Amino acid sequence: MKKSFLSSKIHKATVTDSQLDYEGSCEIDISLLNAAGISVHEKIDIYNITNGERFTTYAIKGKAETGNICINGACCHKVSIGDKIIICTYVDIDSKEIKNHKPKVIHVDGENKILDSNTYGNVSLME
């Protein structure tokens, strides 16, 4: 049996741009993607801290060290520039791998510069 667990998270990022007339997706500074272990074109869930909206899209590469996070396409209706968001990915893990799973979490400042990078401890199993 497999279960879904948090794989990576960019916490409290700030939306820097929004492009409605685009195919869709979320452009993220490649430095942030690499730090969080998120691949280009990987499915991401975005949770808008500012207004409570939640949606799914995919990551595209943005220019390094810019702090750019640009929401594209229809998702623009769910965010505004300046909104605080959480960007997450998940992984399906076989039950044998659960106890050793450690998600990667990146905390950023108001300009989306990395404050710290943590790997959460092992997932605890309910007994």
Of the candidates 7, 8, 18, 25, the residue annotated as catalytic is 25
Of the candidates 22, 39, 47, 58, the residue annotated as catalytic is 58
Residue 47 known to be catalytic: no
Residue 28 CB-density burial (10 A; 0-12 exposed, 13-18 middle, 19+ buried): buried
HSE-CB for 26 with a 13 A CA cutoff = 33
Residue 58 known to be catalytic: yes
For the beta carbon of residue 97, count every other beta carbon within 10 angstroms. Answer: 14
Among all residues, which ones are annotated catalytic?
25, 58
